[in-house]
A and B are shown apart, each in its own frame.
Chain A
Amino acid sequence: MPRRYVIVGNGPAGVSSAEVIRSIDSSAEIVIVGEEKTGFYSRPGLAYLLTGTIPESHLFSRPDSEYRRLRLQRVTARVTHLQPREHRVWLEDRSFLEYDRLLLAVGARALRPNVPGIDLEGVVTLDTLDDARRILRLARRAKSAVVVGGGITALELAEGLSSQGVETHYLLRKDRYWGNVLDPQESKLVETRLEEEGIRLHRRTDLAGVIGRGRRVAGVTTTDGRQLACGMLAVAIGIQPRFELARDAGLAVGRGIWTDEYFQTSHADVFAAGDAAEVFDPSTGARVLDSLWSIAIEQGRSAGANMAGRRESYARPAPFNVTRIGGLTTTLIGAVGSGREDGDLVALNRGDSDAWRQKADAFAVEAEAEVSRVRVLVGEKQLVGAVVMGDQRLSRPLQHLIREAVDIRPVRDQLLHEPQRLPAILGSFASAAHAA
C-alpha cells in the first residue's frame, strides 16, 4: 500500500516538504490541507502589494499545474484537532483524514496588545492576503493611521499605509527603531528615511487604548495621556507560532511546536516545520524559532526527507534576510544584536530570527559611506554576523564568509585596525576565499 502523507499548511514549508516527499516516494499519496481559499502566494510579497509595487495577481507563485505535476491532493479546510494515536486529522466539516506521516506546517499568527478597544473594526495585522486586502480597503477611506510594533513588519505596514496616501504615525516605545538588532547609527538611517517619506515618528510613546466611534476605530490614546485621531491601527508587536493543534493533541510545545533536529515532534509520526516549529539545534543545545521564507523552505525540505524515511539532520545555517527597511536594502546575517529585549516587540516577528538578537562574543567593525553602512561582527576565527545597509556589494561576500564559517584569521588584524578599509579588505578576501 502506498504511504499516505498529510501536510497541514499550504505555505513554503508545507509545499517544499511535498516536493521532496514526491521526489523520494513516487507512489505516495500526498494530501495538503490549507485554510485559505486562495492558492499559494508570496507572504513577503504582501509588503509590495501594500506599497502598490505589484498587483495582487503577481503574488501567486505556484500555479495549480505545479500541484498537478506533483500529484498533490489539495483540501481547503480548517483542521480542528488531531488524534496522533489513531493517526487522524479532523476537519471542520467533521470528516477526517488518515495518515501514516503528518506534517504540521501551520505557520504563526500576529499577536495583539492587550489594551481596551483592540477588537474594534479598523485594528489590523498582516498575516495573510486577506489581511492585506482589508488594509488596502480601509486605507482608501482612512485619513490617518497609527502603527505600533517593530521589526520588518511594522515598517511594511507604515510604508504601505503611507504610500497609499494615509497620514501615518509610528509609535516607538523606546528611543529608536529595532534597538536590539540594529545599532544606533543603523536605527538613525532608517528613521531618517521614514521621516523623509512623511511618516511621523513618536518616540518613547506607547499605545494605551483604542478609541471607537460605534464599532470603528476613531483614534488611540497613548501612555503619556495624548490622543491621536486615526481611522486605522496597524499592529506588528510579534507573532505566535500556531501550536494549539499540537498542544491539544498532547504533543510537547514551548514557544512553538517542539521538534528535534529531524523535525520530529514528541510523537514519532508527526513532524513540524516552518514558523510553527521550535527546532532543536544540536550545535548549541537551544531550541530556536525563525520566521523566514528561505528557512521555512529549507526546513520543509528537510522535514519531507525525514518523513519519507531518510535520516537527515538539519544544520541550521546562520539565518539571513535581505529586505528593504525604510527604502534601504538591508542584509542581516547571523548574530548582530545587543542580547537585550526589544522595546517594540513582545515576541519574534515575521521576517525575523532568534539568531539576530543574540549578542556575539565578537568585536564590531563598522564602515560608513553616505546612506550606506556595513557592520561586521568579528569573532576569534570567523565572522559571526553582519548588517549591510544601502550599498549591497558586500552582501553576497559576507553571506558566504559567515554561512560557510570561513577562517578569517589572515585578515582579522587588518579588519580590527583599519575599519574604514573594511569593504576593500573583505571584498578581496571573500573573492579569494570563494575561488579557493
Chain B
Amino acid sequence: MVAAHVVAEPARCVECGICSFNCPLGIDVRSHARRGQPVADNYCLTCGECVARCPRGTLRMESTDVFASLREEKP
C-alpha cells in the first residue's frame, strides 16, 4: 500500500506564500516548508497544486510506503 505526502527542502524556501495561497483546503503549506516539515495534514488531498506552483522547487511529492517501517526491521 502506497500513499504520498508533500515534503520540503527549507534551504530553497523564501516564504513567498504561493503554496499556501494555492492550497484548495487552505493548509498553511509555507509554515511546513520553511521548517522542512512534511505536510502531514489529514486533510491534505495530495493534489500537488503547491508542488507545481512553488517557483523555487522547494516542495516535492514523496510516496510513503506504509509498510516500509515493517520491512526495515528485517536483518
Shortest beta-carbon distance from A434 to chain B in Å: 13
Contact A58 B55 (CB under 8 A): no
Contact A322 B17 (CB under 8 A): no
Q: How far is the CA of A54 from the CA of B18 in the complex (A)?
A: 6
Contact A329 B17 (CB under 8 A): no
B5 interface contact, C-beta 8 A: no
The 9 lowest CB-CB distance pairs between A and B, nearest first, are A45-B16, A58-B17, A61-B15, A44-B14, A42-B15, A322-B56, A293-B14, A58-B21, A42-B16
Shortest beta-carbon distance from B2 to chain A in Å: 19
Q: Which of A291-347 contact B (CB under 8 A)?
A: 293-294, 320, 322-324, 329, 331
With a cutoff of 8 Å between Cβ atoms, the chain B residues found around residue A184 in the complex are none
Place the interface of chain A in its size category. Answer: 20 to 34
A42-B14, A45-B16, A329-B55 given; 16 more Cβ-contact pairs under 8 Å: A42-B16, A45-B18, A48-B16, A54-B18, A58-B20, A293-B15, A294-B10, A294-B11, A294-B13, A320-B11, A322-B56, A322-B57, A324-B55, A329-B57, A392-B57, A395-B57
23 CB contacts below 8 A, A to B, read: A42-B14, A42-B15, A42-B17, A44-B14, A44-B15, A45-B14, A45-B16, A48-B16, A53-B18, A54-B21, A58-B16, A58-B17, A59-B16, A59-B17, A61-B15, A61-B17, A293-B14, A294-B10, A320-B11, A323-B55, A323-B56, A395-B57, A396-B57
- Contact of B17 (CB < 8 Å), options: A54, A293, A392: A54
Shortest beta-carbon distance from A327 to chain B in Å: 10
With a cutoff of 8 Å between Cβ atoms, the chain A residues found around residue B12 in the complex are 294, 322
Q: Which of A43-88 contact B (CB under 8 A)?
A: 43-45, 48, 53-55, 58-59, 61-62
The interface residues of chain A, by DSSP majority, are classed as mixed
Q: Which of B24-71 contact A (CB under 8 A)?
A: 30-31, 34, 55-57
